[in-house]
Amino acid sequence: MKRVLLFGATGSVGLQTIHLLSQFKEEFKLLGVSAKSQLAKLIEIGEKLKPPFIALPDEGTAKFVQERLTYRPTILLGDQGLVELAQLPEADIVVVAISGIKALLPAYHALLAGKRVALANKECLVGAGFLIKEAQAKGSAELMPVDSEHSALFQLLRKEKMSLVERVYLTASGGPFWDWEVDELERVTPELALRHPTWQMGPKITIDSATLMNKGFEVIEASILFDLPLEKIEVLIHPQSFVHSLVEFVDGSIFAHVSKPDMRLSIAYALFYPERSDLHDLRLSFKESLILSFQPPDWQKFPCLALAYQAGRLGHPYPLILEASDEVVVPAFLEGRIKFTQIPLILEKTLKEFNIKRIPSSVEEILAFHEEVRNFTEELLNGIC
C-alpha cells in the first residue's frame, strides 16, 4: 500500500484526488493533507479518510478544525508545516494540488526527499522550473505531471527517444471565445468567461483558459518537463477536448493521447504509474459519432499566448514575472476592475517595466520576488482603475 500526502486537498484537483483515494482504498492510504480554505470540506475529508497529519495556515484555522474533528491528527502550521509534511519519511507519493507559487515549498522539499511528486501546480514549474528540476535530480525523485496535456505527453514520450521528436502539440479547448471576432472580446464579462465549455476548474484557471494564458504557461511547463526548446512546442485549438496532446516524430508520424476530459485520469496515472488503474466509468465510447477538429490559434485574438513564448524565450525570471502578474490581473478582471481585453496589456506592461534588481535563485528568493512583481502589477492597476 502506498502512503499519499495531498497538498491543497480542498481545491478542484484535491477533491478529485480524494475521490480516487476513496475509490482505491486497498492501494492507497491518505497519510496527510494540507488546506488553506474550504475548511468544512477538509473536516469532511478528515472524518472520511482520517489522515494522521494535517497542515494548516495558522493557529486560528487549526483550532477551528480540531474542534470539529472526532479524531486527533497531528497538526502542522504555516510554511514550516508544509515543508515538514512534504518531508515525512513514511510518505511515498506527494500530490501537489495547491494553486499559486506557494506550491514550490512542498514540491521542492518532497522532491529533495526523493518522493514521487504528482505535480498538479503549474506556477512553480513556470516560475521556478530550474529549482524543481534541480531538486528532482538531487533527490533522484520521480516527477509526474498531473496537468492533462503534460500527463498525455509523458505517456506518449515515455518509451521514445527525444532526438526523434520533431514537435509536440498541446491542445487547447480555446475557452468560450475561440470562435468570437477580435472586436467582440470587448464585451466579455466575468460571467461569460467563467463558463468553460469542457473542463470544470477553479475560477483563476478558467479565466486563464479563456485568454489562453493557461496554454502559454503550459508551453513553458512542457519545455521544462521534457527539455524541449520552445520552437518544438505548438498549440492547437481543439474545442472538443478529447485529444490532450500530440507528438510528431521526424518521419511525420503523429501520435495522439485521447480520453474523456476528466482530471481523474491524469491524477490516477500519476498515482498508479507504471501500472494503470481500472477507471471504467471514465471510458470514452465510440457508439455515437465523435467529431474532432484542430486549428491553429489566432495570435491576434489571444495575445497572452505570444507573451508566454516571449517570456519563455527571455528565460528566467521572465516566466516568473508573467505568472506573478497574472495572479493579480485575473482577480482584478473577476472583480470588474478591468476589461477582459486589458488582461494582456497589463501583463505586457509588467514584463516590460518591472525592474529586476537581482535574479532570484533560491525558493525564498523566488517567493519574495513573486511578491514584488505582484505589488508592481497592483500599482499599475491602481494607476488605471
**Which residues form the interface with Mg ion (CB under 5 A)?**
147-149
**What is the smallest separation between the CB atom of 149 and Mg ion, expressed in angstroms?**
5
**What is the smallest separation between the CB atom of 311 and Mg ion, expressed in angstroms?**
18
**What is the smallest separation between the CB atom of 72 and Mg ion, expressed in angstroms?**
38
**Choice between 136 and 206, CB closer to Mg ion:** 206
| Triad 23, 38, 206: Cα angle to 5° | 80
CB proximity list for 113: less than 8 A, separation 6 or greater = 86, 87, 89, 139, 141
**Choice between 62 and 207, CB closer to Mg ion:** 207
**What is the smallest separation between the CB atom of 54 and Mg ion, expressed in angstroms?**
28
Query: What b-and-e string marks burial along 351-383, b requiring 16 or more CB atoms within 10 Å of the CB?
Result: beebeeeeebeebeebbebbebbbebbeebbee
Written as one letter, the residue type at 280 is H
Taking residue 210's Cβ as centre, other Cβ atoms within 10 Å add up to 29
Q: Kindly calculate the radius of gyration of the chain based on its CA atoms and give it in whole angstroms.
A: 20
Cα–Cα distance for residue pair 133/61, rounded to 1 Å: 33
**What is the smallest separation between the CB atom of 32 and Mg ion, expressed in angstroms?**
26
**Choice between 147 and 326, CB closer to Mg ion:** 147
Position of cell 478582471? 333
Written as one letter, the residue type at 290 is L
Secondary structure E strands in 222-276: 233-237, 243-249, 254-258
Cα–Cα distance for residue pair 366/364, rounded to 1 Å: 5
**Choice between 32 and 174, CB closer to Mg ion:** 174
**Choice between 12 and 350, CB closer to Mg ion:** 12
**Choice between 223 and 377, CB closer to Mg ion:** 223
**What is the smallest separation between the CB atom of 214 and Mg ion, expressed in angstroms?**
7
**Choice between 236 and 380, CB closer to Mg ion:** 236
Q: Are 149 and 245 in contact (CB under 8 A)?
A: yes
Q: Are 365 and 373 in contact (CB under 8 A)?
A: no
By DSSP bridging, strand 165-172 and strand 233-237 are parallel
**What is the smallest separation between the CB atom of 195 and Mg ion, expressed in angstroms?**
18
**What is the smallest separation between the CB atom of 148 and Mg ion, expressed in angstroms?**
5
**What is the smallest separation between the CB atom of 222 and Mg ion, expressed in angstroms?**
10
| Triad 341, 221, 271: Cα angle to 5° | 120
Cα–Cα distance for residue pair 8/6, rounded to 1 Å: 6
Residue number of the CB closest to Mg ion reads 147
Taking residue 93's Cβ as centre, other Cβ atoms within 10 Å add up to 22
**Choice between 31 and 125, CB closer to Mg ion:** 125
For residue 296, what are the CA distances in angstroms to 40, 87, 254, 309, 363? 43, 43, 16, 15, 36
Q: DSSP alpha helices (H): ranges in 158-212?
A: 190-193, 203-211
**Choice between 263 and 338, CB closer to Mg ion:** 263
